[in-house]
Amino acid sequence: MNDSVLSTSYFNPISSTDYLPLSQMRELQTVRLQKIVNLAYEQVPLYRERMAEMGVSPRHIQNIKDISLLPFTKKTDLRDTYPRGMFAAEMKEIVRFHASSGTTGKPIVVAYTQSDLDVWREVVARSLASFGVQRGDIVQNAYGYGLFTGGLGLHMGIECLGATVVPVSVGNTERQIMLMRDLGSTAISCTPSYFLHLIDQAMSMGVDMRELPLRIGIFGAEPWTEAMRARVEQMTSIKAYDIYGLSEMAGPGVGAECYCQDGMHIFEDHFYPEIIHPETLEVLPDGEEGELVLSTLSKRAMPMLRYRTRDITKIETSPCPCGRTIRRIHRISRRSDDMLIIRGINVFPSQIETAIMRVEGTLPHYQIILTRVGGLDQVEIKVEIDSELFDGDIISSYEKLQKELVYSVERIIGLKVKITMVAPRTLRRSEGKLQRVIDERKF
């Protein structure tokens, strides 16, 4: 069995493992799992200790099915071992960091060796190929570049496929429309909500997207719906495709739709999927809805075994007419935790709380209100403040407090929000479970 991963020249979709017969795929997964469990056991104390507690060692892994013997990992494990406790490679092997939101003020950091980047590039290229992107296409990449994996992840895959990348990143919407028109972009990658905003902006600039060469949309990083797909496809001449991923696995490219637009194929030669019941943690059979658990099968810098994604989905059981044999997951509609995705950025209400409480003069009563205006998520945070400050006629200290709050929240979640300061005892109190988040966004 050839266990090498593609690393050079343009990606050729025909040579990929998407079409492997099942028995060969399971064999490949077994070989890779054995290797990765060994690595994790040898290099990462957290895995060694957890496996010891469960009486499991690498020699128990004889088959990919034995994955169920292994302990689960969670986002809090990354937080508790922040920043490098889950790394399995030496610093000199690590060539890239990315980061994503943790549950408190600190982000979680993920690391990549050169071979991890090769795998990531390959799976993004496979995703793009399954959307029909090819050499000659011009892909306007409007995912954010930086610590977020969207921008650079898509970027590498587009280049690997030999298509042309326009690394415009997110924002500056007018310029996006200008570039789209002037360069003749044939594909766009961004969050689905940002694309709605681009459609609005184009209209207000008198540009009809249906008349542009744009024909492929590469949308992910946040939940969206079939209704949204229908609307977007009707307002433009694109086919809108879903792409899934998370920083803990690599970034975008863990799974992607094909032209059938009926579930996302998981690149399971690198990311092994299981579905569990989020409370009993029992592994559910294919076809049943539950929490997606993923294991990296080839990651060297930071192997993640049985990572609880908190994303709720199910594995499709029918074969896909496209001929790919790798399994598909259903569109992700919700999560089993309270993580919000605002403009593609992961935000935990607890982060907002931390940010507010850091500012003197605030009371521990707040509410987060999410709306969508012109396709773009808006956040308003209502915060109760000290009565002295509220009643006082010192406008400058009132304004100062508001600025401090905006800054404090932005520093932690990376988003500028609207802060509305209200008098003590204004916000509704609850005797039961307090609803701090009001999500009025509709697709």
Of 127, 70, 100, nearest in space to 276 by CA: 70
- DSSP line for 22-41: HHHHHHHHHHHHHHHHHHHH
State the minimum distance, in angstroms, from the CB of residue 440 to ligand DLL.
Answer: 19
State the minimum distance, in angstroms, from the CB of residue 52 to ligand DLL.
Answer: 29
CA end-to-end span of the chain: 46
State the minimum distance, in angstroms, from the CB of residue 165 to ligand DLL.
Answer: 14
**Parallel/antiparallel/unpaired status of strands 239-246 and 216-220:** parallel
State the minimum distance, in angstroms, from the CB of residue 280 to ligand DLL.
Answer: 21
Closest-by-Cβ residue to ligand DLL is 220
Place of tokens 């991923």: 245
Between 58 and 344, CB nearer to ligand DLL: 344
- CA–CA dist 40, 35 (Å, integer): 9
State residue 226 phi and psi, 5-degree precision. -65, -35
Query: Structure tokens of 70?
Result: 């292994």
State the minimum distance, in angstroms, from the CB of residue 139 to ligand DLL.
Answer: 13
Binding site for ligand DLL (CB under 6 A): 100, 143, 149-150, 220-223, 242-247, 251-252, 309, 311, 332, 335, 341, 346
Between 61 and 109, CB nearer to ligand DLL: 109
Contacts of 247 (CB under 8 A, 6+ apart): 98, 99, 100, 108, 110, 149
Between 222 and 274, CB nearer to ligand DLL: 222
Contacts of 223 (CB under 8 A, 6+ apart): 331, 332, 333, 334, 341
**258 φψ region: left (φ > 0), alpha (ψ -120 to 50), beta (else):** beta
Query: Structure tokens of 150?
Result: 């969207």
State the minimum distance, in angstroms, from the CB of residue 420 to ligand DLL.
Answer: 28
- CA–CA dist 72, 306 (Å, integer): 5
State the minimum distance, in angstroms, from the CB of residue 125 to ligand DLL.
Answer: 14
Place of tokens 């500012």: 359
- CA–CA dist 164, 140 (Å, integer): 8
Between 190 and 202, CB nearer to ligand DLL: 190
State the minimum distance, in angstroms, from the CB of residue 273 to ligand DLL.
Answer: 13
Between 31 and 415, CB nearer to ligand DLL: 415
Between 100 and 115, CB nearer to ligand DLL: 100
Between 58 and 253, CB nearer to ligand DLL: 253
Kindly compute the dihedral angle of the four CA atoms of residues 236, 242, 167, 105, in this order, to the nearest 10 degrees. 130
Between 37 and 345, CB nearer to ligand DLL: 345
